[in-house]
């Protein structure tokens, strides 16, 4: 389990996150919800050690996040971190050479599942296919936790459907997923836990199934209640 306890973040003098606490469990999909600029990406970056925490603690299985333990987490950003001149095949081989926890057979399975052509140059990919390659590269690492920043951002309905299918496939099995999305409707049925943020604070954290069963509310229903004045 990844646990954030009283985490705060400042950029310079500007305080972005205040006293944020929540947990991310293995075998669950946790979704960070909030309007633009609320600090969702910053939270993912802090968990992946891409930006320092100002105060508070982040632990994995009750232990501090040391460089060794960071190998259990991967961060999939909302843009593809591969040079445009590379082909998909080049990027796969680059990752294979660079990461000892690269799972090459999973990468090949994902390539087929996502119907990608390994000869396509990264620079020639559509936005939807670019998002799929990004997911392929992240999901082919044998890590326990995967952080995804806006995996559905700006992509067409067919790519969204394919990525949604990926979420309910075996490729995510046994992993803990923390993602941010503005497209809640597409994956509402797959989300186990929602964490609602506003102005740098956690407004509400809830198990989506309990919410449906006990109060008959979807994530969107709760969002309307919480965010509407
Ligand atoms: N490196 C940085 N230096 C200074 N301010 C930053 C930096 N990165 C982000 N910010 C600011 O921190 C705030 C939170 O940004 P962040 O990208 O985490 O929000 P977000 O919730 O992910 O937004 P979006 O939904 O648009 O992706 C914003 O006001 C942003 O301008």
Tokens at 128, concatenated: 């939807």
Cα separation, 121 vs 112, in Å, equals 17
Under 8 Å between Cβ of 127 and 79: no
- Closest ligand 1 atom to 38 CA: 21
CA distance 188 to 67: 33
**Is residue 77 a contact partner of residue 49, using CB atoms and an 8 Å limit?**
no
ipTM: 0.95
pLDDT at 228 over 80: no
The pLDDT tens digits of the residues spanning 81-101 come to 889 999 999 999 999 999 999
Residues with CB under 6 A from ligand 1: 11, 16, 34, 36-42
CA of 113 to the centre of ligand 1 (A): 33
Residue bearing the CA closest to ligand 1, atom 30? 37
Average pLDDT over residues 10-37: 93
State in Å: Cα 40 to ligand 1 middle: 8
Question: pLDDT digit string (tens) for 152-169?
Answer: 887 888 888 889 999 888
Q: What is the pTM of this model?
A: 0.93
Of 91, 152, 153, nearest to 122 by C-alpha is 91
Distance CA 152, CA 132 (A): 9
Nearest-CA neighbor of 2 among 204, 208, 226, 193?
193
- Give the number of other CB atoms < 10 A from CB of residue 144: 18
Give the separation between CA 208 and CA 196, rounded to whole angstroms: 12
């Amino acid at each position: 389990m990844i646990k954030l306890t009283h985490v705060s973040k400042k950029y310079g003098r500007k305080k972005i996150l205040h006293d944020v606490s929540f947990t991310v469990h293995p075998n669950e999909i946790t979704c960070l919800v909030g309007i633009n600029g609320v600090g969702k990406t910053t939270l993912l970056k802090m968990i992946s050690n891409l930006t320092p925490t100002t105060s508070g603690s982040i632990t994995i299985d009750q232990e501090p996040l040391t460089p060794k333990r960071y190998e259990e987490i991967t961060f999939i950003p909302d843009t593809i971190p591969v040079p445009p001149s590379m082909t998909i095949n080049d990027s796969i081989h680059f990752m294979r050479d660079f990461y000892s926890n690269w799972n090459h057979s999973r990468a090949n399975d994902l390539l087929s599942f996502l119907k990608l052509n390994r000869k396509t140059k990264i620079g020639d990919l559509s936005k939807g296919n670019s998002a799929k390659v990004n997911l392929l590269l992240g999901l082919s690492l044998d890590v326990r936790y995967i952080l995804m920043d806006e995996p559905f951002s700006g992509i067409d309905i067919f790519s969204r459907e394919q990525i949604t299918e990926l979420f309910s496939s075996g490729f995510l099995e046994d992993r803990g997923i923390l993602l941010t999305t503005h497209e809640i409707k597409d994956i509402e049925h797959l989300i186990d836990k929602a964490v609602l943020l506003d102005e740098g604070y956690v407004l509400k954290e809830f198990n989506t199934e309990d919410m449906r069963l006990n109060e008959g509310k979807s994530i969107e229903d709760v969002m309307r209640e919480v965010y509407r004045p």
